[in-house]
Structure 1
């Protein structure tokens, strides 16, 4: 069987510039590309190590009908899509940095009964993000 890997993970955000500032400045992601087309943008970000799967930020209307964009925007704002699950070598340091950014925290770092130590918060658009401590 062929080796298959995950290349891009799309993340719908309500404001690409606001989300870009959050993922770049608070979480340390690196911009790989910033592509505009038809009045919309797709911003690809790599993790702080600059490798691996990229996160692609785009607005609800990017490539969708107006009706679909409106429905998707409502779901994003409610935080019903996701969660996006990330990992970090120093969860406490990430928690401090993200806390200083003003993000809405849903759960401080804690050991979970299913295994990892993690925390949870919402990005500026309302998407739930969980960060697992790597071993």
Structure 2
């Protein structure tokens, strides 16, 4: 019995090690899956807004993007190059063919341990 338990623990440990997020992971595609990323840029929602009064945006090296109409301190306190964990928490449906907007991700900055939950677009699928 101990041999089986030890083997199961070793297999579980190996599976967890392989599932570890890496900075170059693609965006997760299924709800409640996560991947690693790196912050590429942080800025206001609208160009030219130096006070973030129009909201906040963040983009990632893997092509991900999140935006808010609010000033999000967790994003503003982040830096380019920070490693993050990005988890997909919502996919809108039904959506018109070819309109993939509106996915919501929870992102955790692994340097600050601050998190935020935001959509990938200002409008959900089928919106403006």
Shorter-chain TM range is under 0.3
TM-score (norm 1): 0.26
Identify the structure with the greater helix proportion: 1
